[in-house]
Amino acid sequence: RWYMITNAQPWDNLKFDLEGIAEVQRKFFGTLYNTYSFYALYANIDEFKWDSANLTEVKDRPELDRWILSRLQVLKQTVRNSFNDYEPTRAGRAISEFVDEELSNWYVRLCRRRFWKGEMSTDKRMAYETLYECLYTISQLMSPIAPFFADWLYQNLTEHLPEGNKEKSVHLSYLAEAKTALIDEHLNDRMEMAQQLSSMVFSLRKKENIKVRQPLHKMMVPALKPETVELIESIQGIVLSEVNVKELEILTDVSGVLVKKAKPDFKKLGPRYGKLMKQIAGAVAQFDQEDIARYESQGVYSLELNGEKVELEGGDLEISTEDIPGWLVMTENGVTVALDITISEELRYEGIARELVNRIQNLRKDSGLEVTDRIEVQVQKSGILEDAIIQNKNYITSETLAEKLELVSDLRDGTEVEFDDVKTQIALTKI
Question: Which residues lie below 8 Å from residue 203, measured CB to CB, with a gap of 6+?
Answer: 330
Answer yes or no: are the C-beta atoms of 425 and 376 closer than 8 Å. Answer: no
Tell me, what's the pLDDT at 136? 97
CA torsion, points 163, 75, 70, 297, in degrees to nearest 10? 170
As a whole number of angstroms, the distance between CA 216 and CA 324 comes to: 16
Task: Give me the amino acid identity at 307.
Answer: G
306 C-beta neighbours (distance < 10 Å), count: 8
Q: With left for phi above 0 and alpha for psi between -120 and 50, is residue 85 left, alpha or beta?
A: alpha
Which ranges of 17-121 does DSSP label H, i.e. alpha helix?
18-24, 31-46, 63-84, 88-97, 109-116
Q: With left for phi above 0 and alpha for psi between -120 and 50, is residue 357 left, alpha or beta?
A: alpha
Q: Give me the residues paired with residue 140 across strands.
A: none
Which class for 295: exposed (0-12), middle (13-18), buried (19 or more C-beta within 10 A)?
A: buried
Question: Which residues lie below 8 Å from residue 407, measured CB to CB, with a gap of 6+?
Answer: 378, 379, 380, 381, 386, 389, 390
Tell me, what's the pLDDT at 361? 94
Coil/strand/helix, residue 113: helix
**Which CATH class, in words, describes the domain spanning 260-321?**
alpha beta
Q: Give me the residues paired with residue 250 across strands.
A: 221
What is the biggest distance separating any 2 CA atoms in the chain, rounded to whole angstroms?
A: 83
As a whole number of angstroms, the distance between CA 242 and CA 238 comes to: 6
Tell me, what's the pLDDT at 18? 82
Phi first, then psi, for residue 265 (nearest 5°) are: -90, 100
Regions of the chain where pLDDT drops below 50: none
As a whole number of angstroms, the distance between CA 172 and CA 127 comes to: 27
- The CATH code belonging to domain 346-430 is 3.30.2320
Tell me, what's the pLDDT at 382? 87
Coil/strand/helix, residue 309: strand
- Name the superfamily (CATH) of residues 2-183: Isoleucyl-tRNA Synthetase; Domain 1 (1.10.730.10)
Phi first, then psi, for residue 318 (nearest 5°) are: -95, 120
Is 0.75 topped by the overall pTM?
yes
Tell me, what's the pLDDT at 260? 82
Answer yes or no: are the C-beta atoms of 171 and 65 closer than 8 Å. Answer: no
As a whole number of angstroms, the distance between CA 243 and CA 245 comes to: 6
As a whole number of angstroms, the distance between CA 132 and CA 41 comes to: 13
Tell me, what's the pLDDT at 231? 94
As a whole number of angstroms, the distance between CA 188 and CA 354 comes to: 31
